[in-house]
Structure 1
Amino acid sequence: MPTYSFPKISIIVPCYNVEQYLERCMLSLVNQTLKEIEIILVDDGSPDNCPALCNAWAQKDSRIKVIHKINGGLGYARNSGLDIAQGEYIAFVDSDDYVDTDMYELLYNATEQEKYDGVFCGLKQETAQQSYNLIRDYDTSIVFTTQQMSRLALSFLHQTELNTKTRLFMSVWHGIYKRELIEKLHLRFYSEREVLSEDLPFQIEFFKNAQSTKFIPDYLYTYCLNACSLTHNFKLSKFNAAINLRKLLYNIIPNHTDSSYFIDIEFYGRIRYLLADLISADNISFKEKQRFIKELCKKNEWNKLDISQGYQEYTWKYMKQYELLKANRATCLIWFILFDKYINKRIFKKLFKK
């Protein structure tokens, strides 16, 4: 396979503990119909056989570069790839996922000779073998211009007049980004260990500074739910990372009348999911869960949230946890989550079967 001095797309693939999935991912990349690509494999200190597999792939295909680094997490692994990327556009792929073999040709052609700063597609979420949820932001091709960019950036947090469905899909791996703009902005990823969601700040910074972007409806990326990711272990530090994300968003979000509501309702939604994950965690005792939730309820954050509009948009059940947090009613909050997560869902399933 010949090398290209100026690849059209640099594809950055962080690798950590995914040896059973790496070949599937790589076959989908090396067989792209767009040949002028470089593939940057970032071994993030993987404890399995990934380092050797990455080296073996580099020996097979001269378009592949390998970085070996000390483990630092997904965000920092992507940054290592960005530091050496040479492509006109940048793409990101998670190594336990795979893509259609014509994905990058379709995305690159859709830039219309680099007219757009970014082009984004739909994706398939593989929930079981040969079973998929289809996700896309728009049902037809659509272009957004400079005047719409700051509003479009907000659309990653909450539905706006620019969305045809819910908020935009925030993960970075369903599109390509002009490298020139990334470097102009000195744009890099935060550590997901410090800021919950390494993708969201990147998307918002990119979009609010872009001149134009395009969405195409094709489902080209396949996101896989693998057994390793479906763990019931939980890290309590995620709550602080969520608080850090909220603070960061207040610094980078374009200023609109509804900006604070969008940030705060997004933050509250994350807290709800984290609480449900905490209750389900196998690595934390119930006593420790109680203690932690009591301390969480005492935080000042809940009185600061601007989410009163949520009562018009969401169900009473969705907003109830906010009321319990704000009222410092930890025990009631725990039992409410338990009822909703286990008892209420079982009742619903029984009724649905009938």
Structure 2
Amino acid sequence: MENDIKLSVIMPVHNVERYLPGIIEELKRQENDAMEVVCIDDGSADGSPAVLDAIDDPHFVVIHQANAGVAAARNHGLDVARGEYLCFIDPDDHISDGYITALTNAAEAGEADLMVTDWAKCKPDGIEEKRVSGVTGGKPLTAERVLEILLHSDVILGSLWAKTYSAKLFEGNRFPAQKTSSDFIPSVTAMSRAKQVKYIPNIEYMYTADRSDSLQNSQKAQDIADSVHVHVQFEELLEQRYPSLLAAAQLDLLLARVQACIHICKSVNIPTSQKKGLYHKYAHGMMHDFGLVWGSNLPVKEKILFTITASGYYPTTLIFGLKTKLAALRQK
């Protein structure tokens, strides 16, 4: 089996004991001799290591490492994966029946070095389907078109999942040691390198969306800096490889700065005395982009959010404070 691996599934694991049995069973139902599942336990403190060690299946490779973060776990997965293609799965997500089989078959055909699939956002109040076929216009995909869709919609994202990559796209393309958005630049870099892209229909990756604001409200200044910096790097990447997408990338960076300002206002981990100065760092010069934003095809909600943010720290803090209070009143 060792020399016949076409697809390596890389799954970082950290304190997800409650989710592991489900995704392991889903993967087992789809296993074949052309695939392997590489599970990297990143120093879990719950029962995750025991769940992984109990797997009695030759298609699974279990590795334990001291806690070093999800980026280090994925890099470890890259180092040991034997497949010609790589698929990344998070243990709290799900895959449809036939997902791995369809990807393995496509990998064996060797027709593309990047494959994209449909996906669904699974929320407590329902499921939101994202269909690639709805944004392609029936035309073949290219790397440039994939990145264009990424910039203009939420059907293809900069995340790793709902895609399968030739392992060659990750040569010299490592995950940076940061807590926030560590997958974004490696993912879009891999996409930008693809020479042939294929859409695999009739299968679906199911992303479990956490609707709580706990993560956003606990971001530190470095987390926010990292989340903006990846969009700076993305703009630089597109300027070099696909300059026709540069204007869209500049708007994307502007929206990342808007989100940074909002997270600063909401975060409980940034001292109040530092918030105003940090806010101005990302909001500086936004008013000069007023025409760019309102002349774009962005949803009106995004345009209003930009306008609020560009108006300054105190108006933004006031508006989001009132929004939080109203939400609390509705729950009573």
Assess same fold via TM > 0.5: yes
Shift in Å at residue 16 of structure 1?
0.5
2:24 counterpart of 1:26: yes
Q: Is the 8 A contact 2:13 2:40 kept in 1?
A: yes
Whole-angstrom distance in 1 between the partners of 2:139 and 2:83? 23
2:310 match:
323
Whole-angstrom distance in 2 between the partners of 1:82 and 1:190? 13
Shift in Å at residue 170 of structure 1?
2.1
1:162 match:
none
Shift in Å at residue 155 of structure 1?
3.6
Structure in which a larger fraction of residues adopt helix: 2
What are the Cα deviations for residues 174-200 of structure 1, in whole angstroms up to 9, with x where unaligned? 1211113333xx22222342xx42232
Question: What fraction of aligned residue pairs are identical, expressed as a percent?
Answer: 21
**Residues 236 and 168 of structure 1: CA distance in aligned 2, closer, same or farther (over 3 Å):** same
Q: Is the 8 A contact 2:158 2:188 kept in 1?
A: no
1:332 match:
315
**Residues 143 and 109 of structure 1: CA distance in aligned 2, closer, same or farther (over 3 Å):** farther
Q: Determine helix, strand or coil for the equivalent of 1:247.
A: helix
Whole-angstrom distance in 2 between the partners of 1:198 and 1:85? 19
2:231 match:
246
Whole-angstrom distance in 2 between the partners of 1:113 and 1:152? 21
**Residues 115 and 243 of structure 1: CA distance in aligned 2, closer, same or farther (over 3 Å):** same
Whole-angstrom distance in 2 between the partners of 1:94 and 1:275? 28
1:12 match:
10
Q: Is the 8 A contact 2:113 2:197 kept in 1?
A: yes
2:196 counterpart of 1:207: no
Whole-angstrom distance in 1 between the partners of 2:162 and 2:226? 24
1:88 match:
84
Query: For the aligned residues, what is the CA RMSD?
Result: 3.1
**Residues 338 and 137 of structure 1: CA distance in aligned 2, closer, same or farther (over 3 Å):** farther
2:130 counterpart of 1:132: no
Whole-angstrom distance in 1 between the partners of 2:154 and 2:90? 24
Q: Determine helix, strand or coil for the equivalent of 2:181.
A: coil
2:219 to 214, 221, 234: 234
Q: Determine helix, strand or coil for the equivalent of 1:208.
A: helix
Shift in Å at residue 35 of structure 1?
4.1
**Residues 296 and 153 of structure 1: CA distance in aligned 2, closer, same or farther (over 3 Å):** same
2:259 to 270, 273, 277: 273
Shift in Å at residue 279 of structure 1?
4.1
Q: Which runs of 5+ in 1 are unaligned?
A: 160-164, 350-354
**Residues 83 and 293 of structure 1: CA distance in aligned 2, closer, same or farther (over 3 Å):** same
The residue correspondences of 1:58-207 to structure 2 (distance < 5 A) are: 60-111=56-107, 113-128=109-124, 131-139=126-134, 144=140, 148-156=142-150, 158-159=151-152, 166=154, 168-183=156-171, 186-193=172-179, 196-207=180-191
2:37 match:
39
Whole-angstrom distance in 1 between the partners of 2:97 and 2:294? 45
Whole-angstrom distance in 1 between the partners of 2:51 and 2:17? 8
Q: Is the 8 A contact 1:89 1:176 kept in 2?
A: yes
**Residues 227 and 247 of structure 1: CA distance in aligned 2, closer, same or farther (over 3 Å):** closer
Q: Is the 8 A contact 2:258 2:282 kept in 1?
A: no
Shift in Å at residue 29 of structure 1?
0.8
Between stretches 96-105 and 313-322, larger displacement belongs to: 313-322
The residue correspondences of 1:283-298 to structure 2 (distance < 5 A) are: 283-284=268-269, 288-289=271-272, 291-298=273-280
The alignment of Structure 1 onto Structure 2 pairs a total of residues equal to 321
Q: Determine helix, strand or coil for the equivalent of 1:68.
A: strand
**Residues 140 and 251 of structure 1: CA distance in aligned 2, closer, same or farther (over 3 Å):** closer
Shift in Å at residue 71 of structure 1?
2.0
Q: Determine helix, strand or coil for the equivalent of 1:14.
A: strand
Q: Determine helix, strand or coil for the equivalent of 1:320.
A: helix
1:310 match:
293
Shift in Å at residue 255 of structure 1?
4.5
